[in-house]
A and B are shown apart, each in its own frame.
Chain A
Amino acid sequence: MAAIKVHGFHASTATNMVLCCLNEKQVEYDFVLIDLLTGAHKKPQYLALNPFGVVPTIQDGDLTLFESRAILRYLAQKFKGQGTDLLGSTLSEEALVYQWCEVEGQSFNPPVSTIVSQILVVPRRGGSTDEAAVEMNIEKLGKVLDIYEERLSKSKYLAGDFFSLADLQHLPHTHYLISACGKGDLISSRKHVNAWWEDISSRPTWQKVAENMKVN
């Protein structure tokens, strides 16, 4: 059986979210580099796979699928019997996993991705960091993390006492926030958020992926 193909970019947080999930589910894959630096994601060949021209996109046999969070849910469902169970054991647990996945997508991702983009990406493209935008989003992110602190004081992981897709979705951006943006204090200053971060980021499945994300 042909391995799943992942079209992505080594530094892309969305790509690395998917690679981590493949590791958790013990699924083999082939990585196809879409070099964002040369604009490969906007060329007709890639747009035929993903009309929005963003990474990653996977191919599993006849199925072509994009949007990292949708890919995560597909992998977690298809490979439910192997590797780490990432969806909980009951319908109610699964609902809570989806709830915290949505929180990541709607409340955590917007401020953290703006911070990472302004500090890490904009200067590399010849622009200058918008410090006001960074400050505003640090404040926003802080308020979200205060709620996480309360949640994680009562629950080992976001959806319950089990590691799930919801926790996994937070790995790539938090990694950049700490290791490349110098904003680790947002995490380390919050006791339970910090303990949760130490736990999830020490998973070998993630450490393998984090190797791709070293920033000089």
Chain B
Amino acid sequence: MAAVKLYGPLASTATSRALACLLEKQVEYQLIPVDLKKREQKKPGFLAMQPFGQVPVLQDGALTLFESRAIVRYIAEKYAAQGTIGLLGKSLAERAVIEQWMEVESQTYNPPSSFLVFQLAFAPLWGIPQNQTEIAKNEKKFSNVLDVYEKRLSESKYLAGDEFSIADLSHLPNTEYIVKATGKAELITSRKYVNAWWENISSRDSWKKIREMSKADSKK
């Protein structure tokens, strides 16, 4: 059986979100890099797969699929019987709570954390001026969100319950950058339960592998 193809640079949070799921489910894959600096994602060949010109894109046989969180759901469902079991829960009710925290990540955790990652980790590298007022605003927003997470994780080992799920997985990429590249790691590390959860999920084999691959990438 042909491996699934994942198009995207490893450094992109959305790409590593999709890859983390492929690794958890032990799915054979081919990672095809897309050069964002050369705006490869805006060229006709890529736009034919993904009309919004964004990474990643998954090709699995006849299916072409984009949006990292949709890719995560598809992979978790299609390969339910292999790799890490229980990523979607064991019942409809468990799945519902997992979907709830996936949406919290998507609508509430992602916007302020993405903004901070862009402004603090990437803008300086690319010579883009930082917006200090907006940085402060988003830091406050993100802190408020993390306070809710702190309470939740004091009552529950993982976001949706006792088991690691796609809800926790979805948080890996942005949180990695927050902790490693923004100078604002204390947002995570100063919160006892959020920090324990972060240490736990980021030490999974799938994320360790992505860290190794990223290190190898940066040495090229």
A interface residues, Cβ below 8 angstroms from B:
51-52, 62-63, 65-70, 73-74, 77-78, 91-92, 94-96, 98-99, 101-103, 105-107, 144, 147, 150-151
Q: Is the CB of A67 within 8 A of B100?
A: yes
Measured in the bound complex, the distance between the Cα atoms of B97 and A77 in whole Å is 13
Which 6 residue pairs are nearest across A and B when measured between Cβ atoms?
A102-B67, A67-B103, A70-B99, A98-B70, A74-B96, A95-B74
Stretch at the interface among B104-112, B173-181, B191-199: B104-112
Nearest A residue to B104 via CB reads A67
Tell whether, in the assembled complex, residue A73 and residue B99 are in contact, meaning their CB atoms are under 8 Å apart: yes
For residue A101, which residues in chain B have a CB less than 8 angstroms away from its CB? 70
CA–CA, A98 to B75, complex, Å?
Answer: 12
Distance in angstroms between the alpha carbons of A67 and B66 in the assembled complex: 22
Q: Which of B96, B107, B148, B151 contacts A63 (CB 8 A)?
A: B96
Bound complex: CA A52 to CA B108 (Å): 9
Q: For window 58-104 of chain B, which residues contact chain A by CB distance below 8 Å?
A: 62-63, 65-67, 69-70, 73-74, 77-78, 92-93, 95-97, 99-100, 102-104
Complex Cα spacing A102 to B110, Å: 13
The one of B52, B97, B148 in contact with A147, judged by C-beta atoms closer than 8 angstroms, is B52
The answer to whether B95 and A67 have CB atoms under 8 Å apart is no
Judged by a CB distance under 8 angstroms, whether B184 is at the interface is no
Docked-complex contact B69 and A77, CB < 8 angstroms: no
Closest to B53 in A: A147
Question: Is A51's CB under 8 angstroms from B108's CB?
Answer: no
Residue in A98, A103, A105, A106 whose CB lies within 8 Å of B73: A98
Which A residue sits closest to B68, measured CB to CB? A102
A52 to chain B, nearest CB (A): 6
Given contacts A63-B96, A65-B97, A147-B51, contact A98 B74 (CB under 8 A): yes
Q: Are A107 and B52 in contact, with the CB atoms below 8 A?
A: yes
What residues of A have a CB within 8 angstroms of the CB of B107 in the complex? 67, 69, 105
Decide: B65 and A96 in contact? CB cutoff 8 A. yes
Bitwise, B34-69 to A at CB < 8 A (1) or not (0) is 000000000000000001100000000011011101
Q: 10 other contacts beyond A52-B145, A95-B74, with CB at 8 A cut-off?
A: A52-B148, A67-B99, A67-B107, A70-B103, A91-B74, A94-B74, A95-B70, A98-B67, A102-B70, A107-B52
Also in contact, A69 and B103, with CB within 8 A (given A99-B65, A103-B52) = yes
Docked Cα-Cα span, A151 to B51, in Å, equals 9
Whether A150 pairs with B51 at a CB distance below 8 angstroms is yes
Q: How far is the CB of B76 from chain A (nearest CB, A)?
A: 11
